Amino acid sequence: MTVTASLVQLLHRINRQKTDLKGQLERGPKMVQMAQAKLQVAQNRVDQIQQNIKQMKMDADSKQLQLRERESKIHNLEGKLNAAKENREYQTLKEQIAADRQANAVLSDEILEILERIDQVVVQLGAAKESVGELQLELERISKQVADKKVVLESELSRVESELAEAESQLSGDFIRDYQRLVAARGEDAMAELEGKCCSGCYQMLTPQLLERLSIGHPIICASCGRLIYHSRD
């Protein structure tokens, strides 16, 4: 295997390392964003539950106000009832008092139902807040993990890019132009190792002439997919 074939193999390996490191660096912020999104959803649920509790308390207060107003009305009606001189007036007032008391009984039941619902929702609020706390800790853990790993990955990427630059400096002539064009378009996927008698990138069979060039160590460009193909002894 000639130096040219060895060099293409080396370039392929380094480009794969570079792509992998960049991929890990890109995944870090995405992991943080996902954790932030989960936390925001949980916080939105807490806010919604709190708003529901606030609305239910307002409904309960409104009904309690109606209850007090009707009780005051009943008290006034009872005063008129005691002062009534005519049977018809007495009967009308009595019916009105009974209707208002029935309405108050319904209101009391509604208020009790709202208060019971508030108690249930308060329990949900507690669970929702606990979830927010857990997700906040998870976000902090992931953020620290990503930040720590970023330092390592950036250092490793810098090393790999230096190694790549050194390897690329050995290229010359038409080959370097083909290499640069393909890597700019495809990255690590610009190169493929020979697999049997096929390009391992597209699995198309190569012609005997191309296989002959590869056998003596010359990398070639696949006529089917355009990748740089090299023959490795490994």
CATH code: domain of residue 152: 1.10.287.1490
149/157 Cα distance (integer angstroms): 12
8-state DSSP, 1: -
Q: Does residue 159 form part of some domain?
A: yes
Flag whether 20 is in a domain: no
State the average pLDDT for the chain: 93
Which residues lie closer than 8 Å to 229 by C-beta, 6 or more apart? 191, 192, 193, 194, 199, 200, 201, 206, 210, 214, 219, 220, 221, 222
Helix (H, G, I), strand (E, B) or coil at 162: helix
Is residue 9 assigned to a domain?
Answer: no
Asked if residue 19 is part of any domain, the answer here is no
| Cα Rg of the chain, angstroms | 40
Q: Can you give the residue range of the structural domain that contains 34?
A: 27-167
* Contact in structure between 187 and 19 (CB atoms under 8 Å): yes
pLDDT for 175: 84
As a whole number, mean pLDDT of residues 147-160 equals 97
Q: SS3 for 171?
A: coil
User: Average pLDDT in the 32-45 region?
Assistant: 98
In a domain, 116, yes or no: yes
Question: Measured between alpha carbons, how far is 32 from 216 in angstroms, rounded to an integer?
Answer: 50
- Tokens 């009967």 correspond to 91
Helices 3-83, 87-168: inter-axial angle, 10-degree rounding: 170
Residue 2 has pLDDT above 60, yes or no: no
Residue 196 lies in a domain: no
Residues 191 and 12 sit within 8 Å (Cβ to Cβ): yes
- What pLDDT is attached to residue 234? 58
pTM of the model: 0.75
101 is a domain residue: yes
List all residues 6 or more positions away from 125 whose beta carbon is below 8 Å from its beta carbon: 46, 49, 50, 53
Residue range 90-129, pLDDT digits in tens? 899 899 999 999 999 999 999 999 999 999 999 999 999 9
Percent of the chain with pLDDT over 70: 98
Under 8 Å between Cβ of 93 and 80:
yes
CA 125 from chain center: how many Å? 23
Locus of tokens 């190792």: 193
What is the spatial distance between Cα 52 and Cα 59, in angstroms, rounded to a whole number? Answer: 10
User: Does 220 map to a domain?
Assistant: no
pLDDT at site 1: 37
pLDDT above 80 (res 86)? yes
In the prediction, which pLDDT does 69 show?
94
Q: How many domains does the chain have?
A: 1
Residue 24 pLDDT: 96
- Band of residue 172 on the pLDDT scale cut at 50, 70, 90: confident
Q: Please work out, in degrees rounded to the nearest 5, the angle formed at the alpha carbon of residue 164 by the alpha carbons of 162 and 170.
A: 110
